């Protein structure tokens, strides 16, 4: 799973979930660097979020892909485009509700983290495990949901920091899923081949 490259919204420290922005200049360079490390890897199937930043990422990487709407980032609703501090000031009651129950809190005009977990897990169940190598180009929130599922606990969501334009590798052994690497760049081939 690869997180898209950085965007201007990300660089400002704001929540950009469903805000459909493209990559920043820095984000493009991050993805170009990643491409050097995965260009020779053959993938059986490649999926991408329908959001511009993910599509730009997969195109720079040079792969054909299938768009899957379940891979889009969370919709932060009225919090879109705001920083954490801005949210706390502008929406103190909503901020408190969110911090009290981050899994089930539904952002006004948006969705809950539980909604994203359901989408991500539905995607995971639908993927043909007979494909040996699957590449997913998506978002930090979706990747953290999938990594949390390795532990069968959604409480792990905030235990992961997912870097921009880096790979997070999980592997299946029958029905057992395990993590092989987080935030990988130069060691991707090694991890995939072992």
Alpha helix stretches (DSSP H) within the chain: 8-11, 25-38, 52-61, 84-90, 92-100, 113-126, 140-150, 188-193
Handedness of CA 46, 180, 22, 17 (dihedral sign): positive
Which parts are annotated binding residues for substrate? 3-10, 53
Bridge partners (DSSP) of residue 136 are 47
The single residue of 30, 73, 80, 139 carrying the catalytic annotation is 73
> Which candidate in 4, 30, 80, 139 is catalytic?
4
In the residue annotation, 4 being an active-site residue is answered as: yes
- Residues tagged in the binding site annotation: 3-10, 53
Annotation says 37 is catalytic: no
CA–CA separation, 191 and 76 (whole Å)? 34
Catalytic annotation, residues: 4, 73
């Amino acid at each position: 799973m690869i997180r898209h490259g950085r965007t201007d919204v990300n660089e400002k420290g704001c929540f950009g979930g469903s805000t459909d922005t493209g990559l920043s200049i820095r984000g493009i360079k991050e993805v170009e660097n990643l491409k050097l490390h995965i260009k020779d890897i053959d993938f059986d199937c490649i999926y991408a979020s329908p959001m511009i930043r993910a599509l730009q990422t997969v195109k720079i990487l040079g792969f054909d892909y299938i768009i899957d709407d379940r891979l889009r980032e969370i919709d932060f609703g009225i919090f879109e485009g705001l920083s954490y501090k801005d949210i706390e000031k502008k929406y103190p009651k909503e901020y408190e509700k969110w911090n009290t129950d981050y899994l089930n809190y539904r952002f006004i005009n948006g969705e809950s983290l539980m909604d994203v977990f359901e989408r991500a897990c539905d995607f995971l169940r639908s993927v043909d495990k007979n494909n040996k190598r699957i590449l997913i180009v998506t978002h930090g929130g979706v990747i953290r949901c999938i990594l949390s599922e390795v532990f069968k606990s959604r409480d792990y969501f905030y235990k992961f920091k997912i870097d921009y334009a880096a790979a997070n590798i999980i592997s299946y052994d029958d029905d057992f899923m395990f993590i092989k690497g987080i935030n990988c760049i130069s060691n991707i081939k090694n991890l995939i081949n072992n």
